[in-house]
């Protein structure tokens, strides 16, 4: 398949850009699939109400078909059509956080095909704030089913070049809208059973949600690999975000961590391996790896979140085979950072 690549400036959706988005909308209405920017990561979109489109998305990504897709909408009317009985909490959350990086799980109505929900009777819904995404949703009939626009298992794409790397020849079109702002996927909250439960942590934190809703549970599998219970978001059970090399997280006092990592790096170098470290502005100079990446400042978790997937992809580009990362706080946005990092490392953690 020939993949069309088009560049659009989110802050200047002029006549030409609008034409491009309309063309992408037509592709989706006709059952095709298009990668596009959102504020979290790039998505791979098809018509969420068309079972054939959802099948195409799974095939292009190599994604297991029991891993449901998120339907992206541009207004509340659209939500009313695809949900049976919208709970009060959903209106509250929408008022505060939509458009934005929050996905809500509700009971689906009959119009949503099981191909989109991975066979579930519930549906995940998000209203993105990215202007290209919002316009594309309007131009494609109102319901874009979209997972992240990467090959299944790889880090989610934060720039169009990574969509091209993974999906060129596998999708109809890729819209390049520049680097994303947030860099981690949306927070997912399940509103279908009793106390609202966070199934995937993200930019909107547990603390944010509890402020608005009172009691909020967190799926215990989010940070704990030893749990025997399956995660409630089917996608969270799969290996994910993995760089091609071997990543280990090292936890402890900064001095001990750098000493341990440098010793391991020296061993790996003796074996002819290329080595990498995910460090912070504060600790960067302490490491002797071939490639030392600064995730950001420890005081700025948003910066670390924004950089994480990009760093993992860069290690791949540089053919790094052995990587270590410092550990981060697991509160606030740190919960999402640690969730993604633990998955990328296959839960390999050294505690000093």
- Residues lying near ligand AMP in the complex (CB under 6 A) are found at 67-68, 70, 105, 117, 120, 122-124, 147-148, 185, 188, 199-200, 232-236
In angstroms, give the least distance from the CB of 33 to Mg ion.
15
176: left (phi over 0), alpha (psi -120 to 50) or beta: beta
Q: What is the DSSP string of 248-290?
A: EEEES-HHHHHHHHHHHHHHHHHTT--EEEEE-TTTGGG---S
Residue 82 interacts with which of ligand AMP, Mg ion, none, CB < 5 to 8 Å by class:
none
Instruction: Considering the complex, state which of residue 233 and residue 279 has its C-beta at the smaller distance from ligand AMP.
Output: 233
234: left (phi over 0), alpha (psi -120 to 50) or beta: alpha
Instruction: Considering the complex, state which of residue 3 and residue 67 has its C-beta at the smaller distance from ligand AMP.
Output: 67
Q: Contact region for Mg ion (CB under 5 A) — 50-58, 145-153, 191-199, 256-264?
A: 145-153
In angstroms, give the least distance from the CB of 65 to ligand AMP.
12
> Cα-flanking dihedrals φ and ψ of residue 194, to 5°?
60, -125
In angstroms, give the least distance from the CB of 188 to ligand AMP.
5
Spacing of C-alpha 166 from chain mean position: 15
**Position among 117, 122, 148, 310 found at the interface with Mg ion (CB under 5 A):** 148
Residue 8 interacts with which of ligand AMP, Mg ion, none, CB < 5 to 8 Å by class:
none
- SS3 at position 241: coil
d(CA 144, CA 161): 22
Residue 341 interacts with which of Mg ion, ligand AMP, none, CB < 5 to 8 Å by class:
none
Q: Contact region for Mg ion (CB under 5 A) — 11-19, 46-54, 146-154, 210-218?
A: 146-154
The residue among 306, 34, 281 whose CA lies nearest residue 158 is 306
**Angle of helix 206-213 relative to helix 88-97, nearest 10 degrees?**
130
DSSP letter (8 states) at residue 3: P
In angstroms, give the least distance from the CB of 324 to ligand AMP.
26
In angstroms, give the least distance from the CB of 133 to ligand AMP.
13
In angstroms, give the least distance from the CB of 68 to ligand AMP.
3
* Chain residues in the site for Mg ion (CB under 5 A): 147-148
């Amino acid at each position: 398949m020939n993949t069309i690549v088009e560049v659009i400036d989110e802050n200047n959706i002029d006549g030409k850009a609008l034409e491009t988005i309309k063309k992408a909308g037509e592709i989706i209405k006709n059952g095709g699939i298009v990668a596009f920017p959102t504020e979290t990561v790039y998505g791979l979109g098809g018509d969420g109400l068309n079972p054939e489109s959802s099948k195409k998305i799974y095939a292009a990504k190599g994604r297991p078909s029991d891993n449901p897709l998120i339907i992206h909408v541009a207004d509340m009317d659209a939500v009313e059509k695809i949900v049976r009985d919208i709970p009060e909490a959903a209106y509250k959350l929408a008022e505060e956080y939509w458009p934005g990086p929050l996905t809500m799980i509700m009971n689906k109505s009959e119009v949503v095909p099981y191909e989109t929900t991975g066979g579930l009777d519930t549906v995940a819904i998000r209203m993105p704030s990215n202007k290209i995404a919002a316009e594309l949703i309007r131009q494609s009939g109102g319901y874009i089913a979209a997972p992240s626009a990467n090959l299944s298992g790889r880090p989610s794409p934060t720039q169009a070049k990574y969509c091209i790397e993974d999906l060129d020849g596998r999708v109809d079109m890729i819209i390049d809208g520049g680097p994303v702002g947030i860099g981690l996927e949306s927070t997912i909250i399940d509103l279908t059973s009793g106390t609202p439960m966070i199934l995937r942590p993200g930019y909107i934190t547990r603390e944010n949600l509890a402020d608005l809703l009172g009691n909020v549970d967190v799926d215990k599998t989010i940070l704990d690999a030893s749990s025997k219970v399956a995660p409630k978001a089917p996608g969270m059970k799969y290996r994910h975000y993995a760089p091609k090399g071997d990543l280990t997280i090292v936890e402890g006092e900064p001095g001990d961590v750098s000493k341990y990592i440098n010793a391991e790096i020296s061993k790996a170098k003796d074996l002819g391996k290329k080595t990498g470290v995910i460090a912070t502005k504060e600790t960067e100079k302490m490491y002797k790896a071939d490639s030392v990446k600064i995730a950001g400042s420890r005081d700025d978790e948003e910066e670390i979140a924004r950089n994480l997937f990009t760093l993992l992809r860069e290690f791949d580009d540089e053919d790094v085979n052995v990587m270590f990362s410092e550990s981060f706080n697991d509160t606030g946005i740190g919960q999402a950072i640690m969730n993604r990092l633990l998955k990328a490392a296959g839960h390999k953690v050294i505690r000093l």
